[in-house]
């Protein structure tokens, strides 16, 4: 799996950068900061123009780098694109961690779904990047590994929250947790496509209604 930006930042904070002597620390942090700036520029460009429109030249311009000066940070375009996809997963997961803090059961499940669904402009941009990513991951084992590790983590979280809801008597007794979790996951993946491509038929309010309808199916009656 690709190194996440969070893991990279942690490694740097712990002094485990490639140049570990004290005097070199600011340089390492600066290097990580600049990688992060490039990843954010790449994310914005893929969201706006698609993957084929994201050239190294345009990414450099967007990030305020001189053309040709990206090599020390990302030797190849493939590495930069990989880091960008990892960044988007990471960004969603950090938002989920905040939104679900202190919650469990159905409340946590709903909060999670609301962070994954493209309900605002920012998450619509994430959806655009994710759609580009899927096209790559369909033919690239490194991409599918990144995707599948994230999806396994999401399935595990959803099953945990549904298990808590069952304990609390909040889940319909007839629910098969793995299948219902997968339906919800596939619904949220498909929503990224509908919200980006078929936006006139898929407003945030439409997605809110769909999520409410689906969660109502899972809840115990009464």
| Residues near a copy of itself, by CB under 8 A | 49-51, 53, 128, 131-132, 134-139, 143-144, 147-148, 151-152, 155, 174-176, 179-180, 182-183, 185-191, 193-194, 196-198, 200-202, 206, 209-210, 212-214, 216-217
Q: Which CB atom, from 24 or from 160, has the smaller least distance to a copy of itself? A: 160
Residue 197 C-beta: closest distance to a copy of itself, Å: 5
Contact 113, 184 (CB under 8 A): yes
At 97, list the tokens: 């961690």
Residue 190 C-beta: closest distance to a copy of itself, Å: 3
Q: Which CB atom, from 24 or from 175, has the smaller least distance to a copy of itself? A: 175
Torsion, Cα of 113, 118, 123, 125 (10° steps): 150
CA–CA separation, 56 and 220 (whole Å): 52
Residue 106 C-beta: closest distance to a copy of itself, Å: 16
CA–CA separation, 219 and 58 (whole Å): 48
Residue 212 C-beta: closest distance to a copy of itself, Å: 8
Q: Which CB atom, from 28 or from 45, has the smaller least distance to a copy of itself? A: 45
Q: Which CB atom, from 15 or from 190, has the smaller least distance to a copy of itself? A: 190
Residue 123 C-beta: closest distance to a copy of itself, Å: 14
Q: How far is CA 15 from the centre of its chain?
A: 27
Residue 156 C-beta: closest distance to a copy of itself, Å: 11
Place of tokens 């490694």: 11
Q: Which CB atom, from 19 or from 197, has the smaller least distance to a copy of itself? A: 197
Q: Which CB atom, from 12 or from 58, has the smaller least distance to a copy of itself? A: 58
Q: Which CB atom, from 61 or from 193, has the smaller least distance to a copy of itself? A: 193
Residue 167 C-beta: closest distance to a copy of itself, Å: 21
């Amino acid at each position: 799996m690709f190194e996440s930006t969070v893991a990279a930042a942690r490694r740097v904070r712990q002094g485990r950068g490639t140049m570990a002597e004290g005097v070199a620390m600011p340089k390492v942090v600066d290097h990580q900061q600049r990688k992060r700036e490039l990843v954010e520029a790449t994310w914005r460009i893929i969201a706006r123009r698609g993957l084929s429109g994201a050239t190294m030249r345009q990414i450099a311009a967007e990030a305020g780098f001189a053309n040709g000066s990206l090599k020390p940070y990302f030797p190849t375009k493939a590495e930069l694109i990989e880091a960008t996809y990892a960044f988007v997963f990471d960004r969603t997961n950090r938002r989920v961690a905040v939104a679900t803090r202190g919650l469990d059961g159905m409340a946590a499940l709903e909060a999670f779904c609301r962070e994954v669904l493209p309900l605002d402009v920012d998450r619509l941009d994430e959806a655009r990047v994710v759609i580009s990513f899927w096209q790559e991951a369909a033919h690239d084992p490194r991409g599918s590994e990144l995707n599948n590790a994230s999806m396994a983590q999401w399935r595990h979280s959803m099953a945990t929250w549904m298990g808590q809801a069952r304990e609390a008597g909040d889940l319909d007794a007839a629910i098969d947790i793995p299948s219902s979790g997968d339906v919800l996951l596939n619904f949220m993946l498909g929503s990224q496509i509908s919200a980006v491509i078929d936006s006139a038929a898929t407003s945030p309010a439409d997605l809110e209604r769909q999520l409410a309808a689906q969660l109502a199916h899972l809840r115990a009656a009464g």
